[in-house]
């Protein structure tokens, strides 16, 4: 039997290593690593490690991984807490707080056993701290302002140093004026890879954090005192159709990891597959104990990962199953007009408000095809187009795109799935057989209704890391 490095480090080995090198070393000299910053809200290529053990780097939806430098045996990172402008989807930005140019902050990736030194510079107008959610570390590194450390005042830089005792799925966020700072978008993912590169290895590993905002249509700043009534439900501070698609090659082992820093739970559902819950923020679920699901409820403050083998090609929806969380900001106060004939009242209103458009007498699906005049900096409540028509979604919705023959590091949007002939639901006419139908009937949005004016950038399939 071969002894893997993991076996060597496992349990008592890792504990011995940690106590032998009690993490205390103060930074030598005055050199602080540079703090890279990100301008783009699009998915950046995975950051392949050039030092230390091999691992499969994660891909952060609409995000990036923070580069580090080695300083002796320490891996050094530099986070800057600062005001940022984050695009939620083409057509809307939020004036938020985040790290290194974006909200959420960059994903931190390191390896079990690594000693990490994380510099945190505060460029906010108020004090902050960072809590390393789920990490096992010395109490004084836990980042709870007032309890385990002084708050980091504006303009100051603090240093966190700890050894990563276990691999898994973690996050970071402030523990200092927490309600305001998380409502403003301050959070980030933290992945610790196993020291044994073969342990629970997958071919594609996607991560996102869920956050919620209350941004009045036409405005830019979240209302930070809101407790329950949020109107922007996001993955990595993005909403459909602005959320990157998750692209996988047929046959890949795929992992999706997510955490919840909103004020309510999110049942995350993916079509086309059953999958296993493989990891929580408490650690790996033993393979023999991993349970099957098609939806995973993620409570506030929790993280979950699920694994599956991508053996079924297609465009598979992945979304929160709370239907209000796959909607954007507009019109949650509207009344239910289903079955009401609004023609007469509409005539009266149009005399006063020429732009007025009655809607909702049959349902609200017409809102997916029409575009009402919207206030500036506001997204339609339901929007996005697929190859067959309006998708009528917003918020926490994306697509798992499984395709044959993709290169191992190809995350580019492959466009819509070309369904094999005879495999698409079809209209019954009493005449033709399914095999005679076109593989992918094309949909021309311009042909459907005179109201169908789609804003540039809102058609599905066009985003991703091109």
> Where do contacts with Cu ion occur on this chain (CB under 5 A)?
266, 320, 322, 325
Rounded to a whole number of angstroms, the minimum distance from the CB of residue 271 to Cu ion is 16
Nearer of residues 322 and 459 to Cu ion, judged by Cβ: 322
Q: Closest separation between CB of residue 86 and Cu ion, Å?
A: 19
Nearer to Cu ion, 157 or 264 (CB): 264
Backbone angles phi, psi at 28, to 5 degrees: -85, 135
- In the bound state with Cu ion, the residue whose beta carbon lies nearer, of 248 and 320, is 320
Q: Give min distance, CB of 256 to Cu ion, in A.
A: 15
Q: Which is nearer to Cu ion, 96 or 298 (CB)?
A: 298
185 Cβ partners below 8 Å, 6+ apart?
A: 84, 86, 94, 96, 97, 98, 103, 104, 211, 213, 222, 237
Q: Which is nearer to Cu ion, 325 or 403 (CB)?
A: 325
Please give the structure tokens belonging to residue 402.
Answer: 């499984």
Question: Whose Cβ is closer to Cu ion: residue 197's or residue 301's?
Answer: 301
Least Å from the CB of residue 368 to Cu ion: 19
HEC string for the chain: CCCCHHHHHCCHHHHHHHHHCCCCCCCCCCCCCCCCCCCCCCCCCCCCCCCCCCCCCCEECCCCECCCEEECCEEEEEEEEEEEEEEEECCEEEEEEEECCECCCCEEEEECCCEEEEEEEECCCCCECCEEECCCCCHHHCCCECCCECCECCCCEEEEEEECCCCEEEEEECCCCHHHHHHCCCCEEEEEECCCCCCCCCCEEEEEEEEEECCCCCCCCCCCCCCCCCCEEEECCECCCCCCCEEEECCCEEEEEEEECCCCCEEEEECCCCEEEEEECCEECCHHHCCEECEEEECCCCEEEEEEECCCCEEEEEEECCHHHHCCCCCCCCCCCCCCCCHHHHHHHHHHCCCCCCCCCCCCCHHHHCCCCCCCCCCCCCEEEECCEEEEECCCEEEEEEECCCCCCCCCCCCCCCCCCCCCCCCCCCCCCHHHCCCCCCCCHHHCCCCCCCCCCCECCCCCCC
Task: Between 80 and 318, name the residue whose CB sits nearer to Cu ion.
Answer: 318
Closest separation between CB of residue 298 and Cu ion, Å?
9
Closest distance to Cu ion from the beta carbon of 104 (Å)? 17
Minimum distance of Cu ion from residue 185's CB (angstroms): 17
Judged by beta carbon, residue 96 or residue 296, the one nearer Cu ion is 296
Please report how close the Cβ of residue 324 comes to Cu ion at its closest, in angstroms.
Answer: 8
**CA-CA distance, 374 to 357, in Å (whole number)?**
12
Q: Decide whether 56 or 383 has the Cβ nearer to Cu ion.
A: 383
When the beta carbons of 128 and 328 are compared against Cu ion, the nearer one is 328
Q: Which of 71/295 has CB closer to Cu ion? A: 295
Q: Least distance in Å: CB of 61 to Cu ion?
A: 16
**How near is the Cβ of 340 to Cu ion at its closest, in Å?**
29
Q: How far is the CB of 238 from Cu ion (least distance, A)?
A: 14
């Amino acid at each position: 039997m071969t002894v893997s490095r993991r076996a060597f480090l496992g349990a008592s080995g890792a504990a011995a290593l940690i106590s032998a090198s009690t993490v205390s070393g103060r930074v030598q000299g005055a050199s602080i690593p540079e703090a890279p910053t990100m301008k783009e809200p699009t998915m950046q290529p995975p950051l392949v490690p050039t030092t230390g053990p091999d691992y499969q780097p994660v891909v952060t939806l609409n995000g990036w991984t923070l580069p580090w430098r080695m300083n002796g045996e320490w891996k050094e990172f530099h986070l800057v807490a600062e005001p940022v402008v984050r695009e939620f989807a083409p057509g809307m930005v939020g004036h938020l707080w985040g790290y290194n140019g974006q909200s959420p902050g960059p994903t931190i990736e390191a390896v079990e056993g690594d000693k990490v030194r994380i510099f945190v510079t505060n460029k906010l107008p108020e004090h902050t701290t960072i809590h390393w959610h789920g990490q096992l570390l010395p109490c004084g590194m836990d980042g709870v302002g007032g309890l385990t450390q002084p708050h980091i005042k504006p303009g100051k830089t603090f240093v966190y140093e700890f050894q990563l005792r276990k691999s898994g799925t973690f996050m970071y966020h402030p523990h200092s004026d927490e309600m305001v700072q998380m409502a403003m978008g301050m959070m980030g993912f933290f992945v610790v890879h196993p020291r044994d590169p073969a342990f629970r290895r997958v071919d594609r590993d996607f991560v996102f954090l869920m956050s919620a905002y209350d941004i009045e249509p036409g405005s830019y700043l979240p209302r930070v005192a809101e407790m329950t009534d949020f109107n922007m439900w996001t993955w990595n501070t993005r909403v459909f159709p602005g959320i990157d698609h998750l692209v996988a090659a047929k046959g890949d082992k795929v992992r999706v990891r997510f955490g919840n820093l909103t004020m309510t739970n999110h049942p995350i559902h993916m079509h086309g597959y059953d999958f296993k819950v493989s990891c929580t923020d408490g650690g790996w679920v033993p393979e023999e104990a991993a349970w099957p699901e098609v939806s995973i409820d993620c409570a506030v403050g929790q993280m979950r990962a699920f694994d599956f083998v991508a053996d079924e090609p297609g465009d598979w929806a992945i979304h929160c199953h709370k239907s209000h969380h796959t909607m954007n900001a507009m019109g949650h106060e509207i009344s239910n007009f289903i079955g009401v004939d609004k023609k007469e009242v509409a005539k009266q209103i149009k005399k006063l408000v020429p732009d007025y458009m009655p809607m909702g007498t049959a349902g609200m699906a017409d809102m997916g095809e029409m575009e009402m005049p919207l206030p500036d900096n506001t997204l339609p409540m339901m929007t996005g187009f697929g190859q067959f028509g309006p998708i009528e979604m917003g918020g926490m919705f994306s697509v798992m795109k499984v395709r044959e023959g993709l290169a191992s590091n190809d995350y580019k949007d492959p466009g819509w799935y070309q369904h094999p002939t005879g495999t698409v639901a079809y209209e019954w006419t009493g005449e033709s057989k399914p095999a005679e139908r076109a593989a992918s009937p094309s949909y021309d949005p311009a042909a459907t209704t005179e109201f169908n004016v789609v804003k540039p950038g809102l058609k599905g399939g066009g985003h991703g890391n091109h």
